[in-house]
Structures are given as C-alpha cells and as structure tokens.
A and B are shown apart, each in its own frame.
Chain A
Amino acid sequence: MALYSEKVMDHFRNPRNVGVIEDADGVGEVGNAKCGDIMKMYIKVENGILVDVKFETFGCGSAIASSSMATEMIKGKPLSEALALTNKAVTEALGGLPAYKLHCSVLAEQAVQAAILDYYKKNNIPYDPALFKDALEEHEHGHGDEEA
C-alpha cells in the first residue's frame, strides 16, 4: 500500500513494545477517543534510565507505528534524552508520514513526555515545566487539510 512507507507498515504490522507495565513508574495518556486516537505510554525507570517502555494505542496505522517507533527510540536511554525526542525525529525514523498524519507523531512525542512527567510527579522530582509544554497542553488535533 503506497499510503505508508515500508517502515511505517513494518511497525504497524509488528509493533514493538506493545503492552502494559503493571508496576510502571510513570504512565502517560494523550489524545481522545472522540478524535480517533489515544496513546498510552508506560515507563520503568532505574537510575535515570528508561529500562522498560510499553505502549497501547487506539488509532490508525500511523498512530500505532508512531508509538511503536517512539518506544524503540527511547528504550534504554536516559530520561533527558527521551525528553528531547521530537515528533520530527519519530517521523524521520519512520521514513516519513503523509502530511495529514503528522499529528500521530506529535501524539507519540506527547505520550513520552506525559509518562515522564507522571514519573517526576509521583516521585516528587523537581522538573522544569517548560520541558513539558507540549504534554501539558490540551491535545490539539488536526488531520491537516480538511478539504482533501
């Protein structure tokens, strides 16, 4: 199918790190069912390192692929590095997304931030709110060109 790159289809068909971490140190959920996509990210943190990451996604092919790719990109990395993950990086790693699907990668970035924020809050770790600007914002949903 020409809609998505091979990489997107691979992550959609064989999503990495799908599932739940029952005793997660942080959980982030972004999106809403009304808009048609929800991402939930579970993280396990040891010594500032993301030792485990799992996700669940309700959404389209690119939403599932974006969350899968995001987990792969942050697993085993220090929190600071995970926080620096951008939707642009996720999109590039996926070999690109159609313009009206870019919000899926934004959602993936926000889900990672939301999970880390949850971890900081639960553990009373001081944080810079500016770093979580995206995750703290209401989920702004745009499928791009509506006329398409």
Chain B
Amino acid sequence: MFVYADNAATTKMRKSALETYVSVAENFFGNPSSLHSAGQRAQEVLTDCRTRMAKALGAEPREITFTSGGSEADNQAIVSAARAGARKGKRKLISTAIEHHAVLHTLEKLKREGFEVVLLPVGTDGIVRLRDVEEAIDENTCLVSVMYANNEIGTLQPVEEIGALCKARGVLFHTDAVQAVGHLPIDVNKTGCDYLSLSAHKFGGPKGVGALYVRRGAPLSSLIEGGAQERGKRAGTEDLPAVAAMTVALEESLKESERAIPYVTALRDKLIGGLSKIPHCALNGHPAKRLAGNVSFCFEGIEGESILLLLDDKGICASSGSACTSGSLDPSHVLLAIGRVHDVAHGSLRLTLSAENTEEEIDYMLKEIPEVIETLRNMSPVWRDLKAGKRSFLL
C-alpha cells in the first residue's frame, strides 16, 4: 500500500489545476506585458486570476502580489514593514519562536542590520499568548509576524485577536498563512492582517508560485528589481500557467473545505487516538486547536530518521523534526519551543493528511507504525535503559 501522509511538505496537484496549467501554458503563452493581442490575452487571464484570488481571501485585486511562493512572500512582507518602520525610527520586530525559517532567517538578517527582534515563546500547547504579544508591543515596534498555523505541529494561533491588537496599537501585522490557506476559510479582514503569505503547492496548486496579500496603504518594497510587473513591486515575467493553476486550486479547495474539513479531522483524530496507545509517546501541539490534517508525535527511545526510512519501506511517506532529517545539529526548533527536550525531540514523527487519504490508509498506518516503533526500540540502548529504570521516562 502507498500512503502519502506528508501534505504539509507538499500536496499532489489537483487535476483541475494541472489541466489549467497545461491549457494556459498552451493557449496564453504571450507575455502579459506585451502590447500585442497574444500579450493582452495573457494579461486578461492574469487580471482575472488576481480578481479571483482576491475574492477567495476577501481582499481587493490590487492587494494581491504574485510571488514565487511562501518564502518569498514572507521575506517581502517582513523586509517591507521593517524598511518602512526604520524610516520612522521604529526598529523593533516581534514574532514567535515557532515560525518557519522563511520568517526566522529574514528576521535574523534584519537583526544583523541593527533591528531589534523579539521572538515570543509559546506554551507547551504550541500557542503564543496574547498577553505576551500585548506586552511586547511598544512605540518602537513596526511589525508583528505570527503564523496562522504551524507547519510541524499544526497549532492554530489566535491571529484574529493578534490582528485586532495590532490594529489598536497601530502596528503592522503579518501572518504566514502558508499552511492554512486552502485548508480553512480565511478572510483577510476578519484576520485583521496587513500582510498574508500563501503558497500554492500546499493546497493542490503547483510549486514555485504563491502570493502576498498586502492591505491597501501598507508599505511594500520590491525584493527583485528589473521590471514593472506587479505594480513595480515584483519584477519578472509572471508565471501565468502557475498563477492560473493556483487560482483554480484555491477556489476548489475552498469549495470542498466544507466537506473536507470534517472528513480529514475525523481521519486525524482516529490516527491520533490509535497512535496514542503506543507506550511512552506524546502528541505535539494542541489536541483541538490544530490543522485538520496534522498529526505530530514524539516517541521516546528512538530517532526520527530511522522511523521515516522504515515507514518508507512500508510505502508510508511521512516526515520528522529530528536533527538527522534537518541536516543540522539540533532537532526542530518548534519541538524545542514547546518544551520537548533534545532526547525526545529526535524521535518525532509528522503525518499530514488530506482529503485524498482514506480510512483504510489510516488503519494501515495504525498497523504498521507501532511495529516500526517497536522494531527500533528493540535495538535501542536508550530504550533498554529506560525499561531497566537506568534512565527516567520523559513521556
């Protein structure tokens, strides 16, 4: 059996999106900046996509800037707000310890340039406290950036409350909604954000395309120079087939979400319930305030990469926040931020579901995963010490 349970990494393209991609590439190959008819026909498609993307988010068409994906959108939003803030003498940026690296590394870069960066902690449930945000905001603050939903543990953040708070304090608010868009109904006005980042391949669109919502009046500077595309804020010939495919994927995702959310949530909860029976494990993140498809566990006494390799042999595609899978010395910064110590964080497993998954696949995973965990524990000296009482169980 083949089970794809890594939808937070990327999703399979929707058939409608793939068909749109091919048809637009074939029939609207003109450069939208060209004056001739082929260019103008492409321009019309681009305008139509912008209008529809805006509508899907409750925004105005001019508030949508197409980008190469979520990382670029995150970079551009944060850098734009920081540059504008610096011009007014405001050089403080507030975010959280569990953001995606597209946000964290951009903040680190700005910190090296002299900005003050405050990364707020999260509780063991993976949620940032509103009070911490409130207390961190001061007269020097130019931006608050808090993700809508976390990519590793799926936790949903209180973005609407943070948005209202930022509005009241006159501070710009960015939300990295890469994991949320297409999975939850999102209205930028309800969220109260000034910037929102999204990525097409997380909701059945193609890779290499995304968008940045920028509230009218919020500062926006370009990262890429060289042309007047995207109102001069993002040079480079538009990837029209990708933009069109993203638009179709988002519309279809939202149309289906009423049915998909309860369906995927039920699969998730069945998987969580079943995996929880494995001794000495723990669910990461809030049990209910989480993305419909996110299942994240830590298993004591074993290491994540070896779990993934054995699961891959069984046809199960999953991911982990262990150091060995991240290519760095430390395990996931998100797992450390929710209080998992290194020893335990190395043994993490993330399964992210979509409406394409079936109950049969959940049953299959519930049969195979406990066996894999047991196999690895049986060859682990840490597990032996834990069982012998020479080492204390943490989970």
Contacts and interface: CB of A to CB of B under 8 A. Distances in A.
Most-contacted residue by chain A among B322, B325, B328, B381 (CB, 10 A): B381
Nearest to B383: A58
A60 B381 contact: no
A60 B329 contact: no
Contacts of A12: 306, 309
A60 B313 CA distance: 15
Interface in B278-312: 301-306, 309-310, 312
Contact of A38 (B328, B341, B381): B381
- Chain B interface, DSSP helix/strand/loop, else mixed: helix
Given A38-B382, A61-B305, A100 B327 contact: yes
Given A33-B343, A36-B346, A60 B322 contact: yes
B379 interface: yes
A9 to B, nearest CB: 8
Nearest to A141: B329
Nearest to B379: A18
B382 A58 contact: yes
A36 B342 CA distance: 8
Contacts of B381: 29, 38-40, 56-58
A42 B274 CA distance: 36
Contacts of B341: 34
Given A36-B331, A57-B380, A143 B323 contact: yes
A101 B325 CA distance: 11
A33 B327 CA distance: 17
Contacts of B328: 143, 146, 148
B306 A145 contact: no
A130 interface: no
Contacts of A136: none
B384 interface: yes
B323 A56 contact: no
B324 interface: yes
A44 to B, nearest CB: 18
B327 A58 contact: no
Contact of A1 (B309, B327, B329): B309
B304 to A, nearest CB: 8
A35 B383 contact: no
B388 to A, nearest CB: 11
A35 B323 contact: yes
B303 A58 contact: yes
Contacts of B325: 60
Most buried by A among B341, B342, B382: B382
A21 interface: no
Contact of A145 (B305, B313, B324, B327): B327
Contact of A148 (B301, B304, B306, B327): B327
Given A13-B313, A60-B305, A36 B323 contact: yes
Contacts of B310: 13
A56 B342 contact: no
A58 B329 contact: no
Contacts of A144: 327
22 contacts: A1-B312, A13-B310, A15-B379, A33-B343, A33-B382, A34-B343, A35-B323, A36-B322, A36-B323, A37-B303, A38-B382, A39-B381, A58-B302, A60-B305, A60-B306, A60-B324, A101-B324, A141-B329, A143-B327, A143-B328, A145-B327, A148-B327
